[in-house]
Amino acid sequence: MESAGAGHPAALLDGRYALGECIGEGGMARVYRAEDAFLGRTVAIKLIRPGIDGASSERAHSEMRVLASLNHPSLVTLFDAHLVPGQPEYLVMELVEGPSLADRLASGGALTSEEAAQLGAELAEALHVVHTAGVVHRDIKPSNVLLSPAEGRAPR
């Protein structure tokens, strides 16, 4: 891994992923827009913050197993993972280009009843897939709902 300078923990991960801007952040990780040089596509890299007690790494392993086992158009796809103790740990996921639901509500106001019904149905389908797999999300909130733009239709 090469150093990137101020503001970026790394410019290149494993000779494959070129990190760009930070697009999200939580207690466990920072998410970066990145380019996969091997496959030539833009992805999201969730770079795990090292945990003093290893809790962050265990949560990342759990998230990796869950994401790898699920498949639904309204769930983010996991492409790759690197979870080796003592090295930078990260998950490589599908990049959703649209805003979060929180951003959409802040900039555009309330959803129409049609938009709310469509979004509610898609969220219910995705949660059904997740719950059927025995997983409870535990952090469903507007900032964690990403809206993917769709040509000629409401976002997914």
Active-site residue set: 139
C-alpha 127/C-alpha 132 separation (Å) is 8
Contact between 15 and 27 under an 8 Å Cβ cutoff? The reply is no
Burial of 139 (0-12, 13-18, 19+ CB in 10 A): exposed
